Amino acid sequence: MVIKKWRRLLLPAVIGAVVAVAPGAPSAASEAAEYERLVNGDFSSGSADPWWTGANTRGSVTGGEYCVDVTGGTANGYDALSGQNGVPYEAGQSYTLTFDARSTVEQPISAVAGEAVEPYRQIARTDVTVTPVTQTFTFTFDSTLDFPAAGNGQFAFWFGGQSFDNTVCVDNVSLVGGVLPPGGLEPAAPLRVNQVAYVPGLPKKASLATDATTPLPWTLRDSAGTSVATGQTTPLGRDAASGENVHAIDFSSFDRQGTGYTLAVGDEVSHPFDISATAMTDLRYDSLAFFYHQRSGTPIEAQYVGTEYARPAGHVNVAPNRGDDDVPCRADLNCGYTLDVRGGWYDAGDHGKYVVNGGISAWQLQNSYERAALVGDEEALGDGTLAIPERANGVPDVLDEARWEVEFLLSMQVPDGQPLAGMAHHKIHDEQWTGLPTLPHEDAQPRRLSAPSTAATLNLAAVAAQASRLWAPYDAEFSARALAAAEKAYAAAKANPNRIADPNDGTGGGAYSDPTVTDEFYWAAAELYVTTGRYRTDVEGSPLFGGESFSVRGFDWGSTGPLGDVSLLLTPGDLPTDGIRAAVLSTADAHLANMAGMGHPAPYRTADGGYEWGSNGLVANNGMVLGLAYDLTSTPKYRDGAFATMDYLLGRNPVNYSYVSGWGDQPVRNVHHRHWANQLDPSLPIAPPGALSGGPNSALQDPVAQRMLQGCPAQRCWVDHIEAYSLNEVTVNWNSALAWLSNWTAEHTVPPVSAGGCEVGYAASTWQTGLTAQLTITNTGTTAWDGWRLEFGFSGDERLQYGWSATWAQTERAMRADAVEWNKRVAPGASVTVGFNASKSGAHVAPTAFTVNGERCTTS
């Protein structure tokens, strides 16, 4: 399901000097080209986007027109306005504005071209009178200012300055002019790599966009520019997702650790990267730090984030805030009570807090700890690992961070004695969208609760039940309170199974409407079963039991069934989980099959091949499925797929960006966020390290995307722009996916062998067209190996046929053997024996140079 989470920019009133423009006057400027500069001027899609409304206005598309309800009693025209941003203007060029307009009651309006930010300079303004009869207006003007596409140019209608309420409708709004063609795809450098690091002992692959149809020579260079490895690219053909002809580069056989490596093909040189077992491990902590930055109701302190990112507490009744301690329902709901909903995480780049998005995010943080405690590295997420106020309290820091959100979820529950007691309100946010930038403590908007929903209630039930079992060893009172709230919520949801959030409740915050809650019922029942041992009938009675929720699209806030499956798989009790296990593995296999045919592999596929809002979050969640498949089987292909997912997110993608701020040579900077708004206000910071951009969205659901990326192939529908909210937003649920995956990959790096050495014995029996070889690998050091990779090379045309006692692979003349589960641990002085069969045509020369985990071995 496509995320319907709109962002409109509420801009300050345009107050520049009035410029009178005569209708129909010829322009002295050069004749304008026939380039349309407004987006969605005919409203044929049924949506108003990217038209926004400001204070005292509410707009919607009705009968094919864009109709704006205007509140009376305002003093100035700009006190009630609607428009769109990012409109390009060229100084000295002519523009023709045409629109149809009518109103319920006759009134004057203004059409204004100008600047969207201070000093709010005007280019042109015309005043007309609209009546109940539709009229067509046409005006021509010359621009005196330059604004690029997706820049600070704006077109707006002013409807204010009247004493009475009214409705004004416009249609066929067109602005034609200028000589520069509309923006297109920005060129991206053709050689794409993981800009952070590749891990010794794991695959190392890159992508090259090129018109060449035959293999090309590549060179791997160290930081001094010295060639350390060479090879040939592998042509893959036309890549649908990027719209490019792509070659793959595989330099997996090179494992020497170092910094500043680059790949080169001809004159093209990649961004630098490391080969390191540790370079990516701290990403788990930066990705988790995102959540402290997003906390509401508490100051973000410099001692944890640095002075650049420190800020006062938001929404705590310090002017101009209204505060979150006494929030009423929306006026039309008349719920008769207020709630204290301080705390929690701001969902994204705005100041809303949403139960359904907060639910999956808190679950994913808690699950990362639960999984690590059961099958991974629990200490890496323990107390003192994060820079948060709760460190050193004896509780794992990731649970402390998740609790900040869980406490908020509990506060959203309808109180006892009310008609919907036990249900959870869907969300709380501002009455109107705030502008960019607006720091949380500067937000002056009233705060309102939306109606309770079944989906929100089940999110609360699931996450609180999960929290109860994880907190039992640390805080018995909280554990009991969370479980009581979870069971109350689940019972309330069963009594009210069809309360669906209003899909049109999108003013001031995202709607987050989900018409199907079968998955939420299953998820909540599964979490309650794992925690209590009860609710088995509800789990087994669900049509989703047994892994039926998994898909190659992936899971997210609107598709939560797999969350219940994961909890059941990790802590199954006496329920059969064979079906869930099979679903995880078959889905992981489908991801790998899809990735094998991609020029820039990412585990994600939709029915039409498009990429949707938040595609990077889905990619990361599908990387989680690959990681779980490896946890279940120890099969290297799943591990390699999870790391390939990180490659995509960290730069091996067709826009050649790392989608994670602060990580990589060219990382995202200008995420859609009201505080990290350096692009609009240089005194504010860019995104801190560890924030995941939403990623490509081929639906182009914001004006910047629509102006700059028309016709883009799916994986190229992205730009690093703060107002490209459908591409470059950040959210808690995408970052929770990144945090889970980055913690998993940090656990599964292969460390180098300790100094002390290795010895390899090689013996081969040959015949005219082939050979059988046996190798004995001995640990001659003093430290046990917990995993190993053997590498060597042939000098002739030998080709691997099959091998045993290891996972074998060949790249050109380079051979690689990875340990399997039963022989990966080799004690000091111990040996393992492996072998293979190969074909050949000439004489076989036994190899003499062997490495284990990158270290040169002696031979015997």
Residue 797's pLDDT is 86
User: What band does 16 get if pLDDT is binned at 50, 70 and 90?
Assistant: very low
- Residues 619, 610 contacting (CB under 8 angstroms): no
C-alpha dihedral (328, 331, 337, 340), degrees to nearest 10: -10
- Residues 511, 505 contacting (CB under 8 angstroms): yes
Q: Which of 354, 478, 353, 458 is nearest to 407 (CA)?
A: 478
Mean pLDDT, rounded, for 300-315? 97
Amino acid residing at 261: Y
Mean pLDDT, rounded, for 175-204? 91
Q: Is the pLDDT of residue 753 over 70?
A: no
Residue 851's pLDDT is 84
User: What band does 849 get if pLDDT is binned at 50, 70 and 90?
Assistant: confident
User: What band does 9 get if pLDDT is binned at 50, 70 and 90?
Assistant: very low
Q: Is the pLDDT of residue 206 over 50?
A: yes
User: What band does 405 get if pLDDT is binned at 50, 70 and 90?
Assistant: very high
- Residues 313, 297 contacting (CB under 8 angstroms): yes
- Give per-residue pLDDT as tens, 332-347: 998 999 999 999 999 9
Residue 31's pLDDT is 44
DSSP string, 194-250: -SSEE-TTS--EEEEE-S--S--EEEEE-TTS-EEEEEE-EEEEEETTTTEEEEEEE
Least confident of 14-23, 576-585, 671-680: 14-23
- Give per-residue pLDDT as tens, 638-669: 999 999 999 999 999 999 999 999 999 999 99
- Give per-residue pLDDT as tens, 551-573: 999 999 999 999 999 999 998 78
- Give per-residue pLDDT as tens, 477-512: 999 999 999 999 999 999 999 999 999 998 889 999
Look up tokens 């998820």; give the residue. 523
Mean pLDDT, rounded, for 198-215? 96
- Residues 533, 29 contacting (CB under 8 angstroms): no
Amino acid residing at 153: G
Look up tokens 């089940």; give the residue. 458
Dig out the tokens for 41 from the structure: 């001027």
Q: Is the pLDDT of residue 13 over 50?
A: no
Residues composing the chain: 860
Residue 831's pLDDT is 95
> Whole-number mean pLDDT of the chain?
92
Task: Tell me 509's DSSP state.
Answer: S
- What percent of the chain lies above the pLDDT cut of 90? 81
Cβ atoms within 10 Å, residue 181: 9
Q: Is the pLDDT of residue 119 over 80?
A: yes
Residue 789's pLDDT is 87
Amino acid residing at 786: D
Q: Is the pLDDT of residue 752 over 80?
A: no
- CA 38 to centroid of chain Cα atoms: 28
Angstrom distance (rounded) from CA 707 to CA 717: 12
Angstrom distance (rounded) from CA 808 to CA 834: 10
Residue 117's pLDDT is 85
Beta pairing class for 770-779 and 327-328: unpaired
Residue 435's pLDDT is 82
Angstrom distance (rounded) from CA 403 to CA 810: 48
Q: Which of 265, 275, 262, 251 is nearest to 208 (CA)?
A: 265
Residue 828's pLDDT is 92
Q: Which of 501, 607, 600, 601 is nearest to 557 (CA)?
A: 501
Higher-scoring residue by pLDDT: 812, 679: 679
Mean pLDDT, rounded, for 306-325? 95
Task: Tell me 643's DSSP state.
Answer: H
Backbone angle region of 127, left / alpha / beta, with phi > 0 → left and psi within -120 to 50 → alpha: beta
Angstrom distance (rounded) from CA 387 to CA 385: 7
Q: Is the pLDDT of residue 782 over 80?
A: yes
CA angle in degrees (0–180, nearest 5) for 773-778-784: 140
Residue 245's pLDDT is 98
Angstrom distance (rounded) from CA 174 to CA 831: 76
Angstrom distance (rounded) from CA 27 to CA 23: 11
Would you report the helix, strand and coil content of the chain in percent, each value rounded to 5? Answer: 25, 25, 50
User: What band does 593 get if pLDDT is binned at 50, 70 and 90?
Assistant: very high
Peptide linkage before 50 cis (omega within 30 of 0): yes
Give phi and psi for 290, each to the nearest 5. Answer: -50, -40
Higher-scoring residue by pLDDT: 854, 859: 859
Q: Which residues are catalytic?
A: 350, 672, 720, 729
User: What band does 27 get if pLDDT is binned at 50, 70 and 90?
Assistant: very low
Which residues contact residue 330 at a Cβ distance below 8 angstroms, ignoring those fewer than 6 apart? 448, 449, 450, 451, 505
Dig out the tokens for 299 from the structure: 């100051």
Residue 750's pLDDT is 58
Q: Beta partners for 329? A: 449
Residue 855's pLDDT is 80
- SS3 label, residue 148: coil
Q: Is the pLDDT of residue 754 over 80?
A: no
Q: Is the pLDDT of residue 580 over 50?
A: yes
Residue 812's pLDDT is 67
- Give per-residue pLDDT as tens, 361-396: 999 999 999 999 998 889 999 999 999 999 999 999
Q: Is the pLDDT of residue 26 over 50?
A: no
- What percent of the chain lies above the pLDDT cut of 70? 95
Q: Is the pLDDT of residue 727 over 70?
A: yes
